[in-house]
Amino acid sequence: DGGITQSPKYLFRKEGQNVTLSCEQNLNHDAMYWYRQDPGQGLRLIYYSQIVNDFQKGDIAEGYSVSREKKESFPLTVTSAQKNPTAFYLCASSIGRDSYNEQFFGPGTRLTVL
């Protein structure tokens, strides 16, 4: 089945530690995205990548880093510089840059900082 997988589903981290969230897609999509969702709020864009080996900052990139070495994979690292990392993280992908292409989402990773 084609889709987007995110792992792990739940993640606990101690303060001061970096942690990497996985996102893999087998939809052959060019573009991939990372969003953060806090309770009572909509999704906010962290980083996005339109093509392999290229990515851009979204609205809330501080304290996060990404890489796009393969088309299928777009891992997100939450660094210790992120002041309030506890949130629900969603990865998405889309065919390309055209506006009519909807984004397909993974199941999400819930990160809790202890």
Partner 1 sequence: AQKITQTQPGMFVQEKEAVTLDCTYDTSDPSYGLFWYKQPSSGEMIFLIYQGSYDQQNATEGRYSLNFQKARKSANLVISASQLGDSAMYFCAMREGFTGGGNKLTFGTGTQLKVEL
Closer residue to partner 1 in complex, CB, 14/96: 96
Rg (CA), the chain: 13
8 Å CB contact between 91 and 33:
yes
50 binds partner 1 (CB under 8 A): yes
Closest CA to 11 of 83, 114, 110: 110
What number of residues does the chain have? Answer: 114
Closer residue to partner 1 in complex, CB, 82/109: 109
104 binds partner 1 (CB under 8 A): yes
> What CA–CA distance (Å, rounded) separates 63 from 48?
15
Closer residue to partner 1 in complex, CB, 9/83: 9
- To the nearest whole angstrom, how small is the minimum distance from the Cβ of residue 84 to partner 1? 18
Residues in a beta bridge with 94: 31
Closer residue to partner 1 in complex, CB, 9/14: 9
27 binds partner 1 (CB under 8 A): no
Burial of 28 (0-12, 13-18, 19+ CB in 10 A): exposed
Enumerate binding residues for partner 1 (CB under 8 A).
31, 33, 35, 40-45, 48, 50, 56, 58, 88, 90, 92, 94, 96-108, 110
